[in-house]
A and B are shown apart, each in its own frame.
Chain A
């Protein structure tokens, strides 16, 4: 809920075109839900993004391996890369991103 408020504030302050959302969710369904919230609006109708179609570009951190410095990746993410279902998470997030043509 609070994250939705913060995203809304950032968009209002900087404009849609200047905001990119990077997710760190550990699970595909939850990541998909977050991606849907910042693109099509909150599907649970519970937060401030209910009915708000922000259509923000959204990525999971696993999709951004190429632009993260190698040592940071090694320190912060490489372990979870082994643990989590990376393909499934990327597939979910991509689905929502592609719906907005991003």
Chain B
């Protein structure tokens, strides 16, 4: 079984200065009780500017620029001993408030966030080159309103202001007239949590070059509740965040347990990965506006700046064993049981010493413990003491009681195995997980051998139980590096190779298949052809016709995931995307396409080839491939139609020809240098290119380099069949097996379907198809429509110029419309006979 590994971790902070006063509960309650309270003014005066927040040493630890060890060397108070104010860190970034507000707009799916025009324009100008923001984001920011319109919304009392530097730059509207769970302040809190979590996840994906579509599941672990008055905690932050980050293949759900939520999330993720249910699970959480300025009363009293002025967020990727990244031991999970009791002693035993005992370890065997990593500078003035220090003392004292260490070693144990706290008091944010980034790095570098992460939560705050909560887990080096038993990766995909049909005889094909097997331990190669020809497993077939039948049956039954063959008749609409090695540079390039036909019309086919090429590039892990068009007949028309598609929101990363002024149109020279990732052409020219580039060194008789003509792709085509030329040599056949395996691993047909959908190439409706009215946010459900008629019912409403979407509700199919349209829509659906009176 696979071990779950900690593959990546990102940590982000957001300066939330104005939100401290408007949306921190301490000051909200104060204002409600006494609008003229001097505390409000005092806090306002004591808030820090962005530069001081970025230069605050604990914040630089959070994003990875300073280690916890280095922090301990900086004299306190840290707010008087500032460091270099860096915005970017090894693990994340510190964002100013205006950027968070822009992200709240981008993360808003229901037109609740309204930004003022000048502010929105300035933000779009600043963020357009930012790697975490996309063109689609900029289009969303372009929708802004005048300050007069915003003031009018605010005067009605149905919206709350978004303030930056004491100025109103926008507002958030209530999402429902009477529902307390959808009122403007609640939407403010939830959108801040969603936006801050989404930026952390975007950072994780960008920084670690992870394809968003590779994420299978998202677990969100904040302390907010998303829902309406009938389901106050209905959820689902996880999918809402994944959507903003392009995680199209992911599902997700929210896990809650006060501050212990993130640690539960990690343990759940480990279970999902270890069981093989998912390969890549993200645990994510955004920040809590409610906790801003929570202890500001005490901070003002003790003349400390209001330090609770940032939102925190993190995203951690737990993946299947890669033999490299640190593992989480699933045999030593600590948990606070219902019967454990709530005395500190019982809690510490259940979370720390019990799991260690199970693993045959003592407290000294753990190099570092990450507990509640609250910044003591925030908690000490508030009377809560140094939280990490108190936790370390408890672990040490328990060790003394159990005889693991001497009483006299208590203090030195704390220094050696403990850490200074640095995390903002955002509840779930400081709880154990802030150290996972440092732990991963330290273990990878061989500096740490074992780290325990402990998350704890105070369940009594919800007044349903007096129970306490907590979970813990151990991170250790990946044994894949040192022991031979775990080195062999599991066979993840099986690829068939048909043996008959080569111009160089069966032996050459067998050599290619065997070469692929010896090179790639994680691919299972199966031969389809005459018995006794190879040491590989053989499924017998004695003619080319028989080979084709066997291949089709094996693909259908799932016994093989993909197949390499010399000839196959694809249906019209399916074409193959070839992969070559550019002779001048060794750079790999996809040729779109090389056999088959994606469409009857030449330029329509080339247009489609570009999209299919992009999908295949994504399957190979190139998330934003450079696209060039070969200078053949129809190239300019194709470029024009693709540029038109861009205007509709499909973004293309255009390549630039090496020739003067060449732009995206590629010449023969570019084919030799590999001037782009995807070279778009008609399939006959593409076919010639693959042949020439593969046989360049052999004089043409045998193709010796590259990956063949590639897999057949097209709308609705779900099999992976890679074609190679009958003149292919063994290395090309081995390359084709690797290519087919990569396509199978990335679930190429799903990627193709998504890409075609994004490029609006899914079969269009006939000419008299109904035109959709302009999209509006829809949140009203109409039930009672038969599932078979649901699309038809939505279209019938479009004809009446009512915007509607067909959807799936909890209890069956639903038609979604806006609150303004619901009555009319219902009447029409009754009139047309889709629902009963």
Contacts and interface: CB of A to CB of B under 8 A. Distances in A.
Contact of B345 (A26, A29, A33, A78): A78
Given A78-B345, A80-B345, A27 B385 contact: yes
Contact of A82 (B343, B383, B397): B397
A67 interface: no
Interface in B363-416: 383, 385, 390, 393-394, 397-398, 400-401, 407, 410
Interface in A23-53: 26-27, 29-30, 33
Interface of B: 343-346, 348, 383, 385, 390, 393-394, 397-398, 400-401, 407, 410
**Interface of A: prevailing SS:** helix
Nearest first, the 5 A-B pairs at minimum CB distance are A82-B397, A83-B393, A79-B345, A76-B343, A79-B397
Contacts of B407: 82
Nearest to A80: B344
A29 B348 contact: no
A87 interface: no
Interface residues of A, number: 13
B393 A30 contact: no
A75 interface: yes
B407 to A, nearest CB: 8
Interface of A: 26-27, 29-30, 33, 75-80, 82-83
Contacts of B401: 78-79, 82
A76 B390 contact: no
B402 to A, nearest CB: 10
Most-contacted residue by chain A among B344, B400, B407 (CB, 10 A): B344
B397 A27 contact: no
A49 to B, nearest CB: 18
Nearest to B389: A83
5 contacts: A75-B346, A79-B345, A79-B397, A80-B344, A82-B410
Nearest to A76: B343
Given A75-B345, A79-B344, A79-B348, A27 B383 contact: yes
**Interface of B: prevailing SS:** helix
Contacts of B398: 79
B390 A83 contact: yes
A80 B400 CA distance: 12
B343 A75 contact: yes
Contacts of A26: 385, 390
B280 to A, nearest CB: 40
A29 B346 CA distance: 25
B394 to A, nearest CB: 5
B345 A82 contact: no
A30 B380 CA distance: 11
B345 to A, nearest CB: 4
A44 B348 CA distance: 33
B385 A80 contact: no
A77 B385 CA distance: 19
A83 B394 contact: yes
Given A79-B394, A79-B397, A83-B390, A30 B383 contact: yes
A50 to B, nearest CB: 15
Given A83-B393, A83-B397, 9 more contacts: A27-B385, A33-B383, A75-B343, A77-B345, A78-B401, A79-B401, A80-B344, A80-B394, A82-B397
